[in-house]
Structure 1
Amino acid sequence: MNNVNQKRLFIASCLALLVTAITFAIRAKIEGVFTEDYGLSKEQVGRAFGPAFWGFAVAMFAGGYFIDIVKTKTVVWMAFFLHLVGIILLLMAKDYFSLFLANVFIGLGNGSVEAACNPLVTALFPDKKTKMLNRFHVWFPGGIVIGSLLATLIMDEMNLSWQVLVSILFIPLVLYGFLFFGQKIPETERVTSGVSYKEMMRNVGAPVTITIAVILMILVATVPSFTVSFDSALPFVIVAAVAVAIVIEGRAVNKITLLFPFIFFCMLLTASTELGTTQWINALLAENGIGPMIILAVVTGIMAVGRYFAGSLIHRLNTTGVLLGSAIISTAGLLLLSIAQGPAMTVVSAAVFAIGVCYFWPTMIGAASEFTPKTGALGMSILGGAGFVATSMVLPIMGKSIETAGPQITLRNMSVLPVILIVAFVALSIVIKNRKAVKE
């Protein structure tokens, strides 16, 4: 690519994702501060943390729809300034509203990073997209490792305030701003390949229904009066109605396969399995005889190493094989964590869980790019946004479950999600195999 510094742009993208990741570790650490020192309930903390996820989704959806209009460079700098404001607001947070507002800006900043950098990485490395997406996403678990160790060092060992921990975010923020400054950023792959905007929308299958469904999920995650109660049939009726609407829009209106909406559904479950568990790690494993932040560092450290070497594994097992194996191992990991007693068993169980969720996020993004390439940046943004908004729904539900049923029952209930994924990925592998057979 003429006048494009691939290495510098890739490093800048990784540092931007590092900021995103460290915010996750910080939230996992300071949730106890806001319950113990500021008097919020765990459900309130879950709701105040929610914007970090649905704000992510809003920014990703907006980025997906408009990135080719406003250009990737604009979205990158939006991410920088949203991160800057969010970090400053988080430093001043003292109650529910201020914590909520800080997470709105941080979530929008995090989402803008993914909306810009996922398509940027695929544009920089068109011949090894899934491999480099996994390399890029090394910095999500890698950043959580760094953030977890810093949290333990700063707050537990040095007894410094949580504000000192949050201030660390300014370092990678300034670095990625410097590296992006003055650089030529290439067009997205969709633009360079000549796929029209209309065709991109059509290949999403049901863009209108999916967008409305995500808005509804954000309301459920944010507004207490929209709280989901699974004691009634209403949530299941709504899910069925959304599924029917997707089929009608995809098959009757757009007359196209529903493969992308199916991948979208799987992303809701993979993200909730991974992020819901790690965000509540402090409360889930507080009584297991080992520092929860150490466990978080172990989990995310394994994920970082696994993602770095993902290329050879994906080559041997293929994308659907990796996803199916991940779902099986994730189920085992959650069940083991639900019965873990003592430091040794907790570490082993956490390691199994880490291996299970390791490849979920980047491989799901890669699956969309590989199996539905014409969905372009919009497809990748929808998946990333949907994953985070699903997590924002799960967080208050998990918080309430931890308070009422306890950590072990909560972990056992969470294992239902990867069990559903096992069935879904078996179906996906059959569909992809049949598609390849038809092409041959």
Structure 2
Amino acid sequence: MENVNQKRLFIAACLALLVTAITFAIRAKIEGVFSTDYGLTKEQIGYAFGPAFWGFAVAMFAGGFIIDLVKTKTIIRMAFGMHLIGIVLLLLAKDMTSLFIANVFIGFGNGSVEAACNPLIATLFPNNKTKMLNRFHVWFPGGIVIGGILAWLVMDTLNLRWEILVSLLFIPLAIYGFLFWGQKIPETERVSSGVSYKEMMRNVGAPFTIIATVIVMILIASVPSLSLNFDSIYPYIAVGIILILVLIEGRAINKISLLFPLVLFCMLLTASTELGTTQWINALLETNGINPMIILVVVTGIMAIGRYFAGGLIHRLNPTGVLLGSSVIATVGLWLLSISNGAAMTLLSAAVFAVGVCYFWPTMIGVASEYVPKSGALGMSILGGAGFVATSMVLPIMGKSIETSGPQTTLRNMSILPVILIIAFIGLSIIIKKKFPKTK
């Protein structure tokens, strides 16, 4: 690629993701501040944190649709601006409403980073997409490690106010803005390969049903009165209707494989398993005899190392094999965490959980890029966005469960998600082997 500085763009993208990740660690830490100092319930905090996830999704969806029209550079500039506004508003937050608004902008900034950088990495490294996407996504757990250490140092060791911790975000923000400044950004892989916009939409399988479903999920995650009641039959009826609509749009209208909708379904559960648990790490493990921030650093540190060396593992097992193994280990990790008592057992259980969720996010993106390449930037954005919307729905449910049933029951209930994934990934593996006979 002529006049494209691959190394500088990759580093800039990693630093942009670093900002995104540190916001996750900071939220996990200041959750207790807004509970004790500002009087918010955990359910209220769950709703106030929700926009960080569904805002992420909205930005990713919008970015996926318009990135080839406005160019990747514009989406990156939007990410920088939204991050800047969100950080300032977070510093001013004092109640549920102001915390909610701050997280809207932070979510938009985070989503714009993913919407721009996932297709950018795939374009920069067309022959090593899954490997380099894993290396790019090292900086998500890596950033949480850095954020967790900073949270422990600033608030627990130096006993400084939470605003000092949040202000540190301005440093990587300024650096990634500088590195992207003035650089030539290549066209996305879809544009360079000549795949039409209409064909990209078609390869999503059932784009209109998927987008409508995600909009409904955002409403449920944002409006407390719309919270799901799983004792009622209505949520299950809704799921059945969605499945029928996906079949009609994908098979009868678009006449295409439903591989992408299946991958999307798996993404909803992998994201909820990983992010739902880590966002509530403070409340889930605060009585286990060890600082939850240490657990967060251990979990995300293991994830960062695992993702960096993911290339060899994915080559030996193939992406679906990695995902299936990860689901089994994640199930064991959550179950162990639900019975852990004491620092040593909690650390061991957290390490097992970390190995389980380590490869979920980047490998899911890689599966879409490898096996449904014509879905393009839109497919990547829908996957990531829907994963964050699912997490925004899970957060208040988990918050309420922690308050009413306790941390251990909540962790035990969360282990159901990777159990479902085990079945789903077996099915996905069979489908891919039939569709791509050369796959191991």
The TM-score range, normalised by the shorter chain, is over 0.9
Distance in 2 (CA, whole Å) between partners of 1:421 and 1:348 is: 23
**Ranges in structure 1 where 5+ consecutive residues have no aligned partner:** none
Shift of 1:439: 10
Describe the SS at the equivalent of 2:436: helix
Aligned to 2:198: 198
Distance in 2 (CA, whole Å) between partners of 1:238 and 1:428 is: 23
Q: What residue identity is the alignment partner of 1:5? A: N
**Is 2:112 the counterpart of 1:104?**
no
Q: What residue identity is the alignment partner of 2:69? A: I
Shift of 1:436: 2.4
Distance in 2 (CA, whole Å) between partners of 1:55 and 1:207 is: 19
Preserved contact between residue 433 and residue 439 of structure 2 (Cα < 8 Å): no
Q: How does 1:11-410 map to 2 (within 5 A)?
A: 11-410=11-410
Distance in 1 (CA, whole Å) between partners of 2:117 and 2:400 is: 35
TM-score relative to the length of structure 2:
0.99
Describe the SS at the equivalent of 1:437: coil
Shift of 1:437: 3.0
Q: What residue identity is the alignment partner of 2:399? A: G
Distance in 1 (CA, whole Å) between partners of 2:62 and 2:377 is: 11
Distance in 2 (CA, whole Å) between partners of 1:148 and 1:430 is: 39
Shift of 1:438: 8.9
> 1:171-207 CA deviation, whole Å, 9 max, x = no partner?
0000000000000000000000000000000000000
Distance in 1 (CA, whole Å) between partners of 2:271 and 2:436 is: 28
> 1:57-97 CA deviation, whole Å, 9 max, x = no partner?
00000000110001000000000000000000000000010
Distance in 2 (CA, whole Å) between partners of 1:363 and 1:259 is: 15
Shift of 1:271: 0.1
Distance in 2 (CA, whole Å) between partners of 1:417 and 1:170 is: 36
> 1:98-155 CA deviation, whole Å, 9 max, x = no partner?
0000000000000000000000000000000000000000000000000000000000
Preserved contact between residue 218 and residue 389 of structure 2 (Cα < 8 Å): yes
Preserved contact between residue 318 and residue 439 of structure 2 (Cα < 8 Å): no
> 1:203-252 CA deviation, whole Å, 9 max, x = no partner?
00000000000000000000011110101010011111111101100001
Q: What residue identity is the alignment partner of 1:74? A: T
Distance in 2 (CA, whole Å) between partners of 1:385 and 1:435 is: 26
Shift of 1:435: 1.4
TM-score relative to the length of structure 1:
0.99
Preserved contact between residue 260 and residue 372 of structure 2 (Cα < 8 Å): yes
Aligned to 1:428: 428
Q: What residue identity is the alignment partner of 2:302? A: I
Distance in 1 (CA, whole Å) between partners of 2:134 and 2:433 is: 23
* C-alpha RMSD of matched pairs (Å): 0.9
Preserved contact between residue 206 and residue 246 of structure 2 (Cα < 8 Å): yes
Distance in 2 (CA, whole Å) between partners of 1:437 and 1:352 is: 33
Shift of 1:434: 1.1
- Residues paired across the two proteins, number: 440
> 1:261-319 CA deviation, whole Å, 9 max, x = no partner?
00000000000000000000000000000000000000000000000000000000001
Shift of 1:390: 0.2
Q: What residue identity is the alignment partner of 1:140? A: F
Distance in 2 (CA, whole Å) between partners of 1:263 and 1:432 is: 11
Q: What residue identity is the alignment partner of 1:113? A: V
Distance in 2 (CA, whole Å) between partners of 1:281 and 1:374 is: 37
Distance in 1 (CA, whole Å) between partners of 2:313 and 2:438 is: 26
Describe the SS at the equivalent of 1:341: coil
